Structure 1
Amino acid sequence: MSEQSLYRLSDHTCITPLIQSWGAWWMNFAPIPAVLHAHSFQLPLLKAYLQNPDFHARAAKDPALSGGSFVGVPAERAGEVKALLQKMQEEQADNLKLAESLEEFQRWLLEEARGQSLEPYYTKVPEPLRGRVELLYDYNNRPFLRVMEGMLYRSPVHKRDIQSLRLWNLETDAGRPSLLTTPYMMEPGQIDVRVPFDEKRMDALFGLDQEPRPLGFIRDVLGSAVTSDAQLLPMLTQEPLRPYTPWEGSVPRVRYLGHACVLIEWKGTTIMVDPVISPRPTAGGHPRMNFQELPPRIDYALITHSHADHYSFETLLRLRRRIGHLVVPRSNGLLLGDYSPKLLARALGFENVLEPEAYESLPIPDGEIVIAPFLGEHGDVGHAKSAFLVRMGKQQLLFAADSMNVDDALYRNMRQELGTVQTVFMNTETEGAPHTWTIEALFPKKRDRKLEKNRRCRGSNADEGLRMMEVLGAKRLYNYAMGLEPWMEHIIGPASGPEAPRMKESERLLAGARSRGWVAERLTQPIDFLLEE
């Protein structure tokens, strides 16, 4: 083995961003949500596990209990979970105290503030938030806190020192811990690099997908996390790169990569929607396009909303050096959970981040990217989200993501203002999770749950999807983001079977579209489309 031999990352190597051993996503990264999530979800969950580790370990493997809050760590490793719990309590002690005082302050404010001046209440704001929040009313005299989020990313509340990158080899898609409920316990052969996510030198690590380097260079990048070449070499390979061939055709090429991830190539411009990419397991599995096979530059990466199957930290960090502009939805910042995807992206190390308003346009050669409205999905909670309409020549594609067509007028207006949309990519979801799923920590402990029973995080059903198509004048329908790829299981749970309500609804949607003479497909694995006139 020569020191000058060149190595790239193996096709099987994951680089997973962690926050104190938990997989990173917006709820444990954005400052105020992270504080509340640790206090009201993560710590109680670990304590519940320690009371009955055997039950949690079994329940986490039971498909019938999918979506439940169970820690999937074997009972014999309960001591490590106890140590993690203690570590979180010690290293986040100030933030846990902040969470308690913030919850208490919000309850007090709702009881006390009835429309009178809020000026006297600033002295009651929890100390870590003093000077970093504004107290406001809505027009119905309901009080709330507007967080000056950019300040919090520069404050001790945002703890960069508990972030790390975990390098490990994926053996099977089922081998990933649940992103939401199970911490990544250290396994033999894994490498944990204690480094903030925004550390620019890590771009050299991510660059190993495209540019092989000598071992010495790689050791220097990873620093003291690597103690020997024997620890590092299983993550690397000397196999030659598969060169990427840019699309130079006269019509747009659209490549479906899995779930809601779509790659568009048109006149030298590359666009990727909702990037979620998975390494290939050593044991083989469902077909996929790997990081090494993606374009060397992605001019625009478009994020529709913050659910972890659309806004993937793991994928975005690994592609960071290739992405020209990251386009994210604009938040209103009026709710504690309506964090700014733009500020979060910058805290992930992205420099060119755009958050355009609805119907604003980003120009591309002989086309544009238009930010489109997006109703539904968040159970009537006002969190940031955008659909995207991409025009290439005369062709227009709508990436509707998890949009719910609750109002035909939205799409009628879209067609009137933007023209006929020939192609729609859309999810089908008839039930959806409760609106508090994954974000329970953001809600007050006392509320009227009877009124909330029918508030679901759902997209369009078949009838709503067909009406969307008809109103837009579309003739091509691609049913995507159905959660059928096994590498999505650690985020959204096991794939739905053919008898599941959402799959039956998908069949109704496709059958209805085909009966109208439209092209209609459900997408489950990589496929290319050439958009002819």
Structure 2
Amino acid sequence: MTAPLYRLADATLVEPLVQDFQAWWMTVAPMPASLHLQAYLLPLLKAYLQTPDFHAKAAKDPELSGSSFVGIAPERAEEVRALMQRMTTAQEDNIKLAEAFDEFQTQLLAEAKGQSLEPLYARLPEPLKGVVELVYDYVNRPSMRVHEGLLYRGRHHKTELQSMRIRRLKADAERDSLLTTPRLMEAGQLDWKVPFHDERLDKLFSLDLEPKPLEWIRDVLGDAVQSDADLMPLLTEAPQTLPETWNGPGPRIRYVGHACVLVEWKGTSILIDAVVPVRPEKLGPLARMSFADLPRRIDYVVITHSHPDHLDIETLLRLRHRVGTLMVPRASGALAGDYSPRLLGKALGFKNVLEPYFYESLPIPDGEIIAAPFMGEHGDVAHAKTAWIIRTGEERLFFAADSMCVDETTYRDLRSTVGDLHTVFMNTEIVGAPHTWMLEGFFPKKRDRKLEKNRRCRGSNSTEGLRLLELVGAKRLFNYAMGLEPWMEHIIGPAATPETPRMKESDLLLTTARERGMQAERLEGAREVVLKS
């Protein structure tokens, strides 16, 4: 008798963790992770332990979405205390690195006024020696340039603290904040101690495509499985049908949700800002695409920037075995926070990672992928970000993400160089988080905060958005990345309501664009988009 074959159940969620906190670039990239641990995560857990009841209640309050509260029940406070102790012990050298960076940055700003920086190397704290280069810009403002590649190869990149938490997801609302709430173990979960770069992840996630015998799956997961009773709820024998390769005619555009879009053209598949949900046991009314709805082969995954609603390590790891090339924005490396997405991609186990300069082009059949300037959105702080143009024959799709029209010449030059950008995907997040949100570890504790009040991580308002559309020669607008899908709540908070500023601005932009003869609509929930000529 043939042994039954199993694949991952549709509701099976696999979360990548770093010491129980979900992985994103600020918990993985070595220098940012060290600064974030010292300046944010440990103080956050300490604050929780002082008032666990308050934190647990506040974390569930939609009015406080985006605030720093730990959503752990008070009766589990001792587990949080134990986690904090483990973090302090296991990452002692990372904490010292962050403290040294913070201390020396203050000294550097106070003392370096244009004179030679050479004498200051002798005063570098021990944790920073060999890790940074002291540099000026051209108006004598000092900073430290981090040797990031070295840190990934050294003791500060602690892959032994990485793991995968495997469980069934009953509903989207079960997922606590990615940014503030650690994932304590629950009954029915598997804790798989495996680093993110490990090829065993590809074997596990191959179950999204090809079912395997139970014995094979047990062998992959090893000690994470204590009994078949733990494993069986995560698997299913139900058959599935994967989509066929799209060969036209014309491009097929499938909106996965939020900022995630799949473009298929002449046998080539391109996934932009890959954030792909599982299907929980309890589904809402919105249509949803999941991993089984994506092509067996994804030629390119393209990332606009590192905010976790655009660069999702959970999705990237699950798709890694299907992906030919990961394309990421290019960092300057001039600031500690301007980390390298390319090095992160390599640390996540991707073999082919490209970081093109603006206006560089990668050919695809009868088309190309072009890196384009991504203006604004990051509160005037240097950060790796790239908008993308995908040309399919004579059609050009512009994925502008959270771009702002702060310099008209940029978009005028883009059009004159590349051609009319017929279809534009952009959002209207007009409020945005403060530029220091979740990034406090990079900033000196003493600074003039009055000057920072209007520095927000926002996109274009309706006036700016309309001008951008005019400048690039757009015929149609898809307003996306609006925070409307329930599977995004653990990343960006509750779904936007019609009364929120971003939605009112979206309505105004759509109405005005239609009045000017453009096709314009707001995307919500998975769907297939058919372009009309």
Q: TM-score range by the shorter chain?
A: over 0.9
What's the CA shift string for 1:304-328, capped at 9, x where partnerless?
Answer: 0000000000000000011100000
**Which aligned pairs between 1:495-506 and structure 2 lie closer than 5 A?**
495-506=495-506
Q: What SS does the corresponding residue of 1:185 show, helix, strand or coil?
A: coil
Q: Counterpart in 2 of 1:56?
A: 55
Runs of 4 or more off by more than 6 Å in structure 1? none
Q: Counterpart in 1 of 2:453?
A: 453
Q: For residues 247 and 397 of structure 2, what CA distance do their matches in structure 1 show?
A: 19
What's the CA shift string for 1:204-228, capped at 9, x where partnerless?
Answer: 0011100111111111111101011
The answer to whether the 8 Å contact 2:369/2:390 transfers is yes
Counterpart check, 1:37 vs 2:22: no
Q: What SS does the corresponding residue of 1:7 show, helix, strand or coil?
A: strand
AA of the residue aligned to 1:391: R
Q: TM-score scaled by structure 2?
A: 0.98
Q: Counterpart in 2 of 1:381?
A: 381
Counterpart check, 1:97 vs 2:96: yes
Q: For residues 490 and 124 of structure 1, what CA distance do their matches in structure 2 show?
A: 43
Q: What SS does the corresponding residue of 2:491 show, helix, strand or coil?
A: helix
Q: What SS does the corresponding residue of 2:326 show, helix, strand or coil?
A: strand
Shift of 1:532: 4.6
**Which aligned pairs between 1:210-221 and structure 2 lie closer than 5 A?**
210-221=209-220
Answer with 314-323 or 511-520: which moved more: 511-520
Q: For residues 220 and 127 of structure 1, what CA distance do their matches in structure 2 show?
A: 44
Q: Counterpart in 2 of 1:395?
A: 395
Q: For residues 441 and 107 of structure 2, what CA distance do their matches in structure 1 show?
A: 18
Answer with 323-332 or 236-245: which moved more: 236-245
Shift of 1:202: 1.5
**Which aligned pairs between 1:409-420 and structure 2 lie closer than 5 A?**
409-420=409-420
Q: TM-score scaled by structure 1?
A: 0.98
Q: For residues 171 and 29 of structure 2, what CA distance do their matches in structure 1 show?
A: 30
Q: Counterpart in 1 of 2:157?
A: 158
Q: Counterpart in 2 of 1:507?
A: 507
Q: For residues 284 and 387 of structure 1, what CA distance do their matches in structure 2 show?
A: 32
Shift of 1:290: 1.1
Which residues of structure 2 form unaligned runs of 5+? Answer: none
AA of the residue aligned to 1:150: G
Counterpart check, 1:291 vs 2:291: yes
Q: Counterpart in 2 of 1:422?
A: 422
Shift of 1:444: 0.8
Answer with 201-210 or 92-101: which moved more: 92-101
What's the CA shift string for 1:413-448, capped at 9, x where partnerless?
Answer: 111111111100001111111111121121110111
What percent identity do the matched residue pairs reach? 63
Instruction: Rate the CA distance shift 1:138–1:339 in 2: closer, same or farther, 3 A.
Output: same
AA of the residue aligned to 1:44: P
Q: Counterpart in 2 of 1:135?
A: 134
Q: Counterpart in 2 of 1:438?
A: 438
AA of the residue aligned to 1:16: E
CA RMSD across the alignment: 1.0
Q: For residues 499 and 335 of structure 1, what CA distance do their matches in structure 2 show?
A: 38
Q: What SS does the corresponding residue of 2:510 show, helix, strand or coil?
A: helix
Answer with 77-86 or 286-295: which moved more: 286-295
Q: Counterpart in 1 of 2:3?
A: 4
Q: For residues 358 and 532 of structure 2, what CA distance do their matches in structure 1 show?
A: 28
Shift of 1:150: 0.5
Q: What SS does the corresponding residue of 1:135 show, helix, strand or coil?
A: strand
AA of the residue aligned to 2:107: W
Q: What SS does the corresponding residue of 2:176 show, helix, strand or coil?
A: coil
The answer to whether the 8 Å contact 1:266/1:392 transfers is yes
Q: For residues 27 and 99 of structure 2, what CA distance do their matches in structure 1 show?
A: 16
Counterpart check, 1:124 vs 2:160: no
The answer to whether the 8 Å contact 1:297/1:323 transfers is yes
Q: For residues 332 and 503 of structure 1, what CA distance do their matches in structure 2 show?
A: 34
Answer with 244-253 or 447-456: which moved more: 244-253
AA of the residue aligned to 2:190: I
Q: For residues 462 and 324 of structure 2, what CA distance do their matches in structure 1 show?
A: 36
Q: For residues 339 and 126 of structure 2, what CA distance do their matches in structure 1 show?
A: 21
Q: Counterpart in 1 of 2:200?
A: 201
Q: For residues 129 and 296 of structure 2, what CA distance do their matches in structure 1 show?
A: 45
Q: Counterpart in 2 of 1:366?
A: 366
Q: For residues 36 and 279 of structure 1, what CA distance do their matches in structure 2 show?
A: 32
What's the CA shift string for 1:465-496, capped at 9, x where partnerless?
Answer: 11111111111100000000001110111112
The answer to whether the 8 Å contact 1:332/1:338 transfers is yes
Q: For residues 243 and 100 of structure 1, what CA distance do their matches in structure 2 show?
A: 50
AA of the residue aligned to 2:42: L
Shift of 1:412: 0.8
The answer to whether the 8 Å contact 1:35/1:95 transfers is yes
Shift of 1:3: 8.1
Q: For residues 345 and 126 of structure 1, what CA distance do their matches in structure 2 show?
A: 30
The answer to whether the 8 Å contact 1:395/1:531 transfers is no
The answer to whether the 8 Å contact 2:201/2:317 transfers is no
Counterpart check, 1:237 vs 2:236: yes
Shift of 1:128: 3.1
Q: What SS does the corresponding residue of 2:63 show, helix, strand or coil?
A: helix
The answer to whether the 8 Å contact 2:242/2:295 transfers is no
Q: Counterpart in 1 of 2:68?
A: 69
Q: Counterpart in 1 of 2:316?
A: 316
The answer to whether the 8 Å contact 2:367/2:392 transfers is yes
Q: What SS does the corresponding residue of 1:203 show, helix, strand or coil?
A: helix
Q: Counterpart in 1 of 2:223?
A: 224
The answer to whether the 8 Å contact 1:205/1:218 transfers is yes
Q: For residues 415 and 100 of structure 2, what CA distance do their matches in structure 1 show?
A: 49
Q: What SS does the corresponding residue of 2:503 show, helix, strand or coil?
A: helix
The answer to whether the 8 Å contact 2:301/2:326 transfers is yes
Q: What SS does the corresponding residue of 1:477 show, helix, strand or coil?
A: strand
Instruction: Rate the CA distance shift 1:3–1:229 in 2: closer, same or farther, 3 A.
Output: farther
Shift of 1:98: 1.7
Instruction: Rate the CA distance shift 1:486–1:358 in 2: closer, same or farther, 3 A.
Output: same
Q: For residues 532 and 524 of structure 2, what CA distance do their matches in structure 1 show?
A: 22
Shift of 1:86: 0.7
Q: What SS does the corresponding residue of 1:270 show, helix, strand or coil?
A: strand
AA of the residue aligned to 1:444: P
Q: What SS does the corresponding residue of 1:482 show, helix, strand or coil?
A: coil
The answer to whether the 8 Å contact 2:100/2:127 transfers is no
Shift of 1:125: 2.2
The answer to whether the 8 Å contact 1:259/1:524 transfers is yes
Q: Counterpart in 1 of 2:472?
A: 472
